[in-house]
């Protein structure tokens, strides 16, 4: 595991084409922005264990 200190506006580049930017640090919260190719899925850890749903699915889970 790599641990870094970053200030707002600073970035971390991951592999080819993935950039993480620190947007804001306020109190105990950090806002991050991820820029990645469309084929790269980015999910919060608590949602990562759920099955992937198509991005164009309607709220009832049916493909559009």
Q: Which pLDDT tens digit goes with each residue over 24-62?
A: 999 999 999 999 999 998 988 888 877 666 655 555 555
What span, in angstroms and rounded, lies between the C-alpha atoms of 64 and 61?
A: 9
- What pLDDT is recorded for position 53? 60
Which pLDDT score, from 0 to 100, does residue 59 have?
Answer: 56
The pTM assigned to this predicted structure is 0.70
| Burial (CB count within 10 angstroms: exposed 0-12, middle 13-18, buried 19+), residue 62 | exposed
10: pLDDT strictly greater than 80 = yes
pLDDT band at 11 (very low <50, low <70, confident <90, very high): very high
């Amino acid at each position: 595991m790599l641990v870094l200190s970053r200030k707002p506006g600073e970035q971390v580049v991951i592999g080819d084409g993935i950039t993480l930017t620190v947007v804001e640090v306020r109190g105990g919260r950090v806002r991050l922005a991820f820029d990645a190719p469309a084929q790269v899925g980015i999910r919060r850890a608590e949602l990562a264990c759920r099955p992937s749903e198509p991005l164009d699915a309607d709220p009832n889970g049916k493909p559009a």
